[in-house]
């Protein structure tokens, strides 16, 4: 089955995740992180994209970028090939370092962009690695201290009219939700091509704010259908899956989503 073409963002802003193949680590020591950042600088210059935020984790990478020349695929291909060549040579291995297809999510509004930026920066803390403020391999410190590789203006303007005010509000905003380590982020599910039943169940319960997705069976037809409509365009969840997890018939689900 052929792959579906990636959807274009009207803002040209995307959240990209690059994952190690089979969840393998892609950074083993400081030199590896530095090499990856060097290749980001190279591809930024060559393909003229702007980087709004990043976080390098042990086995995956988050990037928020503005693809002003519509060269997202070429830029990321160049980035991953260059880093994979370095990594394979250094560690004397062969084969794919990254998953074949990078994950990308359109960023269409400012509210989502702000929340996404916080989510990316909070990754080290929520993974139990290090405090967000102390983590070396993310763009958080570039916002509050010295800018090195990212473009900060487009994000900071969302937090205040002057730079000092914006940074203060940025820091305050990023401190929110830090303690919710046990709650899976909806953003993570949105980045997946296909969800397992357990992932789909958790995702739907978060979207609909339900303790148990099968609670939907206890509602009136009108209320039940209004809940089902909220799932209509959710990426990664099929109607068959919704029917199976809710205990409703496929016909009821399809009728509600028309």
CA–CA gap between residue 61 and residue 137 (Å, rounded)? 10
The answer to whether residue 187 sits within a structural domain is no
The pTM of this model reads: 0.72
Mean pLDDT of 39-50: 96
- CATH for 168: 3.30.70.1290
Phi, psi values for residue 65, rounded to 5°: -140, 160
Q: Which residues contact 4 (CB under 8 A, 6 or more apart)?
A: none
Distances (CA, A) of 213 to 182, 185, 198, 240: 19, 17, 11, 15
Determine the pLDDT at residue 183.
39
> Does 238 score more than 80 pLDDT?
yes
How many structural domains compose the chain?
2
170: containing domain: 13-175
248: alpha, beta or left? (left if phi > 0; alpha if psi -120 to 50) = beta
Q: Give 2's pLDDT tier (boundaries 50, 70, 90).
A: very low
**How many CB atoms within 10 Å of residue 251?**
9
CA–CA gap between residue 191 and residue 87 (Å, rounded)? 25
Indicate the residue among 175, 207, 233 that finishes a domain.
175
- Same domain membership, residue 205 and residue 84: no
- Same domain membership, residue 252 and residue 218: yes
The answer to whether residue 165 sits within a structural domain is yes
Mean pLDDT over each residue of the chain, to the nearest integer: 87
Q: Give 191's pLDDT tier (boundaries 50, 70, 90).
A: low
């Amino acid at each position: 089955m052929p792959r579906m073409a990636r959807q274009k963002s009207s803002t040209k802003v995307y959240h990209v995740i690059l994952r190690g193949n089979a969840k393998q680590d892609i950074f083993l020591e400081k030199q590896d992180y530095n090499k990856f950042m060097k290749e980001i600088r190279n591809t930024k210059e060559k393909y003229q994209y702007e980087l709004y935020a990043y976080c390098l984790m042990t086995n995956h990478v988050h990037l928020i970028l503005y693809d002003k020349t519509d060269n997202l695929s070429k830029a990321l291909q160049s980035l991953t090939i260059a880093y994979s060549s370095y990594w394979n040579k250094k560690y004397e291995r062969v084969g794919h370092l990254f998953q074949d297809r990078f994950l990308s999510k359109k960023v269409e509004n400012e509210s989502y962009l702000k929340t996404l930026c916080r989510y990316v920066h909070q990754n080290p803390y929520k993974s139990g690695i290090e405090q967000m403020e102390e983590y070396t391999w993310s763009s958080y410190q570039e916002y509050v201290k010295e800018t090195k590789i990212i473009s900060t203006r487009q994000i900071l303007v969302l937090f205040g009219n002057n730079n000092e005010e914006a940074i203060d509000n940025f820091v305050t905003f990023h401190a929110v939700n830090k303690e919710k380590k046990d709650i899976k982020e909806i953003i993570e599910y949105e980045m997946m091509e296909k969800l397992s039943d357990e992932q789909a169940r958790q995702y739907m319960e978060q979207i609909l704010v339900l303790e148990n997705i099968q609670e939907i069976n206890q509602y009136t037809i009108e209320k039940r259908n209004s809940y089902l409509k909220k799932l209509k365009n959710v990426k990664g969840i099929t109607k068959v899956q919704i029917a199976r997890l809710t205990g409703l018939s496929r016909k009821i689900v399809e009728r509600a989503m028309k």
